Amino acid sequence: MGSFMSPLDPVFYMHHNMCDCMWAHWNIDLNNANTNDPAWVNFAINDFVDENSNPVSVEAGLTVLYPLLTYQFEPCSLAGGQVGKGQLTGKQLEAFLKAGAPSKLEFGPRFELKQSMTAEVGKVFTTALNVEMPTVVRALQEGPHTRIVLTVGEAQMPPKREFYVRVFINKPDVTEETSIDDPHFAGSFAFFFDASGMKGMDHAAGGAAGGAPLTGFVIDLRPTLEKLNQAGSLTTSQMHVSLLPVPFARRQAAGEHLTIGRLEVAVAHF
C-alpha cells in the first residue's frame, strides 16, 4: 500500500485491503463508475498519516486512482482476476475513473401506494401497486441509463435491527426457503443507524412517533423485470411487491418487524 496508510491493526488492515481490492476490481475490471457528486469526490479523509507520522488529508475521489498510480494488487480471491484487465487501459481508464457517473436520478412516471404496511420477521408481506405496465415495458427497451426503481419509503428504523429484508416481485408465495436465485428476487436491504449522524433530525421532519427516525431504500428492479418480461409475465396492471424480513445468522429476531409508510415504482433516468 502507499505511504498514506497508517500502521493499523493487522486484522483491520487485511479487511481494508480486501475491500479496496474489490472496489478496484469493480471499477477497473468491470468498468463501473463511481458517483461524480462533489460531496463524495471532494470529501476529505483525515484518518491517515505519512511515513513520518504526519497527518495527511486525502480526497475520496483521488483514492480510486491509487491502484493505477500508487500500488497494484495481486488477484483478489473474490474477484477472480487481476485488477487492470478491464476493457479500458492507460489514459482512458484514468479519465473514466476521474469522470465518474451522474449522481442524480431524473424521475419519469411514478406509481405510488401510500399506506402503513408491516412485515414481521419470517413472514412475507405482499401488496400490489397499480402500474401502467406498457410504460414499464417500454422503459425496459431503453438504454442502460434508464432504470425502474422501487422506493421503500417512510420506513421506521427497527430498534434492534437483527434482520434484513428480501424483496421479490410478482411472487406472493415466497418463503424463507425461496432462493435468491429465483428470477423474482429483486434485492435486499438492511439497516445501519448512527446515532451521532442522526443528531439534529427532529421527528416532525423525519422521525416516527415514539422517537424512531424514518429512513428509506431504493432497489433497482430492472434486471428482475427484464427476466419476468422475457418470460411473458408482465401482462397485468398490477405489480406485486413482497417483503420478507430474514434474521441474520445466529441472531434471535422473532417478533421483530418493519413498518413502512409507502411504496413507489418509478421510471428513472441518469
CA dist., res. 132 & res. 211, Å (int): 37
pLDDT in tens, the chain (270 residues): 333 344 444 444 444 577 888 888 888 888 888 888 888 889 998 887 888 889 989 898 888 888 888 877 776 645 444 444 556 667 888 888 888 887 788 899 999 999 999 999 989 999 999 999 999 999 999 988 899 999 999 999 888 888 999 999 999 999 989 999 999 999 999 987 666 655 554 443 445 445 568 889 999 999 999 999 999 999 999 999 999 999 988 878 788 889 999 999 999 998
* Residue-level pLDDT at 187: 96
Domains detected in the chain: 10-99 (no CATH), 106-269 (2.60.120)
* Residue-level pLDDT at 253: 77
* Residue-level pLDDT at 3: 37
- Laid out side by side, the sheet with 185-189 consists of 125-130, 238-247, 163-169, 185-189
* Residue-level pLDDT at 89: 67
Q: Yes or no: say if 176 and 244 are a contact pair by the CB < 8 Å rule.
A: yes
* Residue-level pLDDT at 189: 94
What is each CA distance from 224 to 208, 247, 264, in whole angstroms? 32, 24, 16
* Residue-level pLDDT at 183: 97
* Residue-level pLDDT at 13: 45
Q: Record the cell numbers describing residue 2, joined without a space.
A: 502507499
Q: Yes or no: say if 148 and 263 are a contact pair by the CB < 8 Å rule.
A: no
Q: Coil, helix or strand for 80?
A: coil
